[in-house]
Chains A and B, each alone.
Chain A
Amino acid sequence: MTNHAGRESWQQDRTAIAGIGATDFSKASGRSTLTLATQASLAALKDAGIDPRDVDGIVRCDMDTVRPVALADSLGVRNLTYWGDTGPGGSGPAAMVGQAVAAIQAGMATTVVVFRSINGRSGERYGKGYADDGRAGGGSTFEEFFLPYGMQTPGQYFAAVAQRHAIEHGTPPEALGRIAMACRRHANNNPAAQMHSRTMSMEDYLGSRMLSTPLRLFDFCLETDGACAIVVTTAERARDLAQPPVLIRSVAQSSGRDAQPGLMFPALLRPTTTSWSSKPLAETLFARAGLTAADVDVAQIYDCFTITTLVQIEDYGFCEPGGAGDFIQDGTLEVGGSLPINTSGGHLSEGYIHGMNHVLEGVRQVRGTSTNQVPGAQVSLVTSAPPPGGSALLLVAA
């Protein structure tokens, strides 16, 4: 039995994303994460037409090095009355927006900045994994069952998922390649994307260096320095601000059951390796929205790795379970195809701001301002992927 918590009481379209802002994306920002967060937040507030001093809520990712009160100080906020964080990491951005929605609906804040700031290339590189020089695991991490066996990085975890998907469903590498190529082609039209000027063919994809079988270099996202921020407020107030409001039709989080403890590797011990909590999450998200997967015009699907996106395409119901290998053909995932994804280039080719750049691009699609605009886009999906849990947003025009 699936629990659609809040399905009846969920209130559609009461809150809106009123502003978006980003820094440049680079390999070496030369700036602190606080400076990056401030820069992105000021850009989002300017976009919305809101005085930074009027911000009264801030939500961050639990892995961010910038704390809400520090950003409030930096923005000259008069008095922050709400702050929070969630995650872990990339499973969090849509849930971070959800916290802002909850705070606004509960009357704890009116104007909430949601941000992610990361020196992911010049600072701490997540791709280096979790093993250091000391003993591994313990303390409820359960990494003692993984790191000593050489399962040490996110890429290795997702490689084992991809291998299992190939075992169960015969998924060919070309399906993963078409995800990478869709992101790259969209990045080629987005001047802000780090891979703006570099094209990718299937030959390029298949010829890229194998890092952890069956995943190649081009299955991996781009460790990035940068920050992204948005401003959430009531739909009513958003109507009087600088931009056309982008309404939050629904937001959802889900753990699924038997999720296993820990951050990432224990998910290999769940009953299913190739379907995640994004599946029950999608049921809740669509039920709250009164929409189905068929209503989605454009999707920003979390892509730390190509396989992450492939599994979610199935979990969100865009094709049958196990059917992504057949569903993803040339052009399927590009503008003009049946499911345009990651229209800014995604983590694979724009930059890895840990899911927040996907929220910004989801907003642009509803506004009609993407560099890869889907004509007439009305329903815009943004996902933040498992493991361990996941979250997602459905955005619509006012």
Chain B
Amino acid sequence: MSAPTQARVLPVTDDPDSGPFFEAAARHELVIRFCGRCERALHLPKAFCPDCHEDAGEWRRVQGTGRVHTWTTVEHQVHPGHPTPYTVVVVQLDEHPEVRLLGSLPGRAEVRPDQAMEVWFEEVGDGVVLPQWRPTTVATTPDTATPEEDGA
């Protein structure tokens, strides 16, 4: 893997719809927006619930475990801040299977369908923190705490 020749791509973190996701990530918390009335997950985050048509959304902390939905190992270099190869994973949350989030693993990662994944929080510079995903390293039961990087 070659070294990056410029900074990696950072997200806008103060968007009115998605900002709270990244604000929570900075606290090492994984949050998803839900409709406070019908409990539907509003992800990607939006103000109004498409079922209730109410602006009653709430950000709630969710368990940081999931399963691999799909992936791709990127071999063709496009952005100089993201040297190839690397593997992008699409992870479906265990607790809310209708919610999917992306993660990235270095190199040609060995990934399997439905592989158990856990969240961790990556400091990517400029004060930005990304929720990231890696193969589950600790045996967990539904009662144990979310396996976050620093136990936050």
Contacts and interface: CB of A to CB of B under 8 A. Distances in A.
B102 A128 contact: no
A269 B72 CA distance: 15
B3 to A, nearest CB: 16
B104 interface: yes
B72 A152 contact: no
A247 B70 CA distance: 42
Interface in A127-160: 128-129, 131, 133, 135-140, 142, 144-153, 155-156, 159-160
B38 interface: no
A144 B103 contact: no
A131 B75 contact: no
Given A167-B113, A266-B44, A136 B12 contact: yes
B39 interface: no
A152 B44 contact: no
B73 interface: yes
Interface in B10-37: 10-15, 17-18, 21-22
Given A164-B69, A261-B44, A144 B12 contact: yes
A21 to B, nearest CB: 34
B53 interface: no
A32 interface: no
Interface residues of A, number: 45
Interface stretch (B56-64, B78-86, B134-142, B144-152): B78-86
B72 A145 contact: no
Q: How large is the interface on B (under 10, 10 to 19, 20 to 34, 35 or more residues)?
A: 35 or more
Contact of A268 (B50, B90, B104): B90
Interface string A100-134: 00000000000000000000000000001101010
Interface string B75-119: 110110010001010100000001111111000000001000000
Given A128-B78, A135-B12, A269-B44, A156 B18 contact: no
B74 A135 contact: no
A230 to B, nearest CB: 34
Contact of A136 (B6, B10, B14): B10
Nearest to B45: A142
A242 interface: no
Contacts of A164: 69-70
Contacts of B75: 209-213
Contacts of B130: 148-149
B44 A271 contact: no
A153 B5 CA distance: 19
A210 B82 CA distance: 17
Given A160-B70, A273-B69, 10 more contacts: A129-B79, A131-B9, A135-B11, A138-B15, A138-B18, A142-B44, A152-B79, A209-B75, A269-B44, A273-B70
